[in-house]
Amino acid sequence: MKEDIYIRILKLGKEKGLRGLSRDEFRDFIHKNGYLTNDELKKIKESPKEYSGEIKEKSSLISGLFNEVFNTPSWLEDDKQKMSIDSYFKLLEYEELVDARKTAKSARRFSVVAIVISLVAIFVSSGIAIYQTIVPSKMDSEQIKELKYNGSSIASKLNIIIENNTNQIKELKRINKNLTRQSSGPSSPSNGTGSSAGR
């Protein structure tokens, strides 16, 4: 988008800096930007007071605009005016506004991209979930082999457990029987001795 002529004038003043520019240079700038024809520029430079109508009006507008923006005498050249402080700060405010708009536009673009990515992720995850519910799961031969029931191995392990328990029970019975014999053995002689003494 083409910038407003006033913004271009402010940028011209910033570009010229402390050196400033003359009225003729300012008129040339206006002419290059298409606001004055060659004939109008020539007549204004020669003697604007001799002309009336549109040329005189344009000459007054150009002079007023020059006096508004370049109203401080240049330190370097006597016939030139430099940009005023007020005009300089107006340009800074404009540039800050442009930067803020660019930042907001960029942030808006990133937010749109983030929303699109999140929506795509939702649709993909939903599609995967629906696919898994519709299509039956398949296992390869190795997985089936690992999960396959092996009755003979289970039966052999159960037999070993039962046999170990049986042996343990037999061993406990043997130990119990020995303990019973040991506890009943010493008591018989004492009973016999007591009965003979009574007689």
Closest C-alpha to 55, from 38, 72, 70: 38
Alpha-carbon distance of 84 to 123, in angstroms, equals 59
The per-residue pLDDT for 21 is 83
Instruction: Give CA separation, 31 vs 11, 28, 39, 65, in Å.
Output: 16, 5, 10, 14
Long-range contacts of the stretch 13-18 (C-beta < 8 A, 24+): 13/69, 13/70, 13/82, 13/83, 13/87, 13/88, 13/91, 14/83, 14/88, 14/91, 16/82, 16/83, 17/82, 17/83, 18/74, 18/75, 18/76, 18/82
The per-residue pLDDT for 51 is 63
Ranges of H-type helices in the chain: 5-16, 23-32, 38-46, 54-69, 85-134, 141-147, 151-184, 187-198
The per-residue pLDDT for 52 is 65
pTM: 0.46
CB atoms within 10 A of CB 73: 13
- Cα–Cα–Cα angle for 82, 84, 89, nearest 5°? 130
The per-residue pLDDT for 164 is 85
Question: Mean pLDDT by 10-residue block, N- to C-terminus, for the chain (199 residues)?
Answer: 79 83 84 81 70 75 83 70 85 89 85 88 86 71 62 73 85 82 60 44
The per-residue pLDDT for 198 is 43
The per-residue pLDDT for 59 is 80
The per-residue pLDDT for 194 is 45
Task: Please list, in sequence order, all residues whose beta carbon lies within 8 angstroms of the beta carbon of residue 29, skipping any fewer than 6 positions away.
Answer: 9, 12, 21
Residue 19: DSSP 8-state: T
